[in-house]
Each structure stands twice: as structure tokens, then as C-alpha cells.
Structure 1
């Protein structure tokens, strides 16, 4: 999640009314963070004391990278009572969606209905080291995402959350609406409003609104209240 471009974060500024999208309203919604190996030593007690309710933690990337910080970060978040989940940074050019979903599941990306585990996240965004869309056509990219998503759902009973930007999604999937009825959306946009969303989505479940702040990592909001966040972890 460190590869979002300024172009993506300044994408179309159309307000999304179904999310409390102003800076002033953010304190009323569950706040979260997402972290990776860039934040190896998170003080989770301080994070909890600062009012954070949930965390997403990087587990894997492609089929060759397992975060050495994942276990300690995940355990730390668990021990202080946060609702937490794992995310996978996709490399659609290196292997199939199913292969990467299985790699993610094998290294911390699973889900269980314990009330504290969020569905795994497919982080699908700008290529950090090559062509923006990883050399895939829009239809091939949609097929790759479906392969990942369906594999994850078949193993866990939950569809993964999709993390992306509207700019990347529009460019690289042709603004596909194929996932709006199944996969929760986590949109990244660092601005005072969320802006336009990918096709089919009336609102977003999570919003990454800043890449820094009073807590480690990126800063996030859940679209709902604390009870809604708990229901999402339970799968209801």
C-alpha cells in the first residue's frame, strides 16, 4: 500500500453521500490503521489508547514475499483487543489469482468467525516496478481478480475485501462492476472526501484517508459503527 500515486489520490472529487466523508465527521466512526514491514515496532497499547478499533496487517506479496513483521504485528493487535485482518499485495503478472490466494491463505490470510478477524484483503493497485496494469488487458485483470476472489471464498466462506483506487480500477479493469455485489470495497483517497467509486459500488466499507497521522502506518475509517464492525468480523 506504499505505491499509491499522487494521480490516484487526487482522482475525481465527487462526494459519496453514503459515507460520512468529511474530516470533521471522522471521530464518529471506528478508526483503524494498516501497517507492514515499514512499521516493524508498533506500540499496540498506545495505538489502542489512541482510539484505534481495527488494523489491517500485510502478510504476503505475490508468491515470494512473507512479511517478517506479520506475526508480531498480528499478535500485538490481537493482544490489545483490536479487530484485525491481513492483506496481500497482488502481482498479477507473476502467477495466477488462485495461486496467490492460496499463498496468502497459507501465510496468515485466513478468516474465522471468531468476531475479531476481518476477511482477507486483496491489495490490487499500481505496479511498483513495471507497467501500471502489470501487462494485463482489462478483461484479463478482471479474470485474475475473480480467480483470487473465488479461490479465497471457496476456502473461507468469505469474499476478500478489495483495496484499490478508483483511478487504477478504472484504468486496469475497465471500471468493472463485477465485484460490487460480493466483495467489500476499501478505497484509498487522501482528501477531504472519498470521491467517485468504482462502478457498481454505492459506498465503500473502508476508507484509507491518509498515509500518516497520529498512529503508525496509513489511517483508515470503517463505514458504520462499532457494532457494524463486529458484525463484519463475524460474517453477518
Structure 2
């Protein structure tokens, strides 16, 4: 089946089948968070992005093969609500941005900085530190050697705008600057965007709106 990226709480996962990587997207409540399970097709090692809530839903998605790592994109509680249960059940390593780790009550095993590489089996993801939504938010970029890049943006980039900066002009300026320079300036229009809530998009779909986002200030 064709991947759409449209999921709903209580519904099935949607699976994006790439040559080297399987990406399963599921929505969990109560904030309609997206969680993404990445599986290396060569090794079957798995990595979870944002153990947001509903640990039973996430453990069912993970299955009997377990999960080696859990990456938390940022410190807001709706993105780590099930983290303790997932770690307890699987023994997974935990990753988070260096500047957000103190805000996550589950200990972070690996502190992540801009440009760091996180692996799942033979697949490499590159972390991009994006400031503004939180001090230490990270996005993960998979530059697919068989196609276009894929980026998991947490709450830093959505269809129609960057993440919430709570009416703080300085935070908004930092976030849109980082999103422009570290994502839009470095990745092509075909880049698939997997956000922390809601539907997917692409950098090409959002790029024409950047001047309007700057003008409106959110």
C-alpha cells in the first residue's frame, strides 16, 4: 500500500517502506502525538522516535524483536510520557538533545549535539539542533542513498509553519533561522517531513511559505 502519513489515535500504523529502512508511524493520545518506529532492513534493529504516550500501543508496534534505542526530540512532556515504561520493558538506550535532557525525567544515556550521528543497524541518522521551541530540540535526518532525504522534525516544523514559540519574538527568530539554515538550505524539496503531530509534508511544499512565516512572526 502507498504510504500517506495520515494516522489517527486508536488507528493502525502507516508504514513507509524504503530500500534500507522501514518507518512505521502511529498516533497516540491525548495530544495526537506521532511516534515513529524505524527498522533497519539489513539487521532488524529498531529505533523509536518519541515514546509519547500509550506504552502498550508502542510496545505492540515494537513487537517481540524489541527496540535498541529511543530518541526524544525535545523535553515537552507529551513527547516522553511513555518513555519510562518503554525503557523498563526493552532496556533501550535513550538519546536526547544535550540542552533538553535535564527536562526529561528518564535519564538520557547519550547526549546529542548538532551534527551527531545516531545509528539504527546499518542506517545512519544525523541530528540537527534546532533552537526556539525548546533550547535543545533535535531533528533527525536520514539521507536515503537510494532516494531523497527524510527528516523527523519533532515540534520544530509542521505543515504551515514552525513550532510554537509562545509569542516570543527572539525564540521565533532563532527557530526559523535554524529551520532555514539547517533544513531548507541543506536539503532538497523532495525531502519528506515527519512532524511530531499531524500529517506529513515535504520541504518543497513548505519552502514557498517561508517569507510569509517570517512576516507574520509565527
What is the TM-score when the length of structure 1 is the normalising length? Answer: 0.33
Higher RCO (C-alpha under 8 Å, 6+ residues apart): 1
Decide which structure has greater strand share.
2
Decide which structure has greater helix share.
1
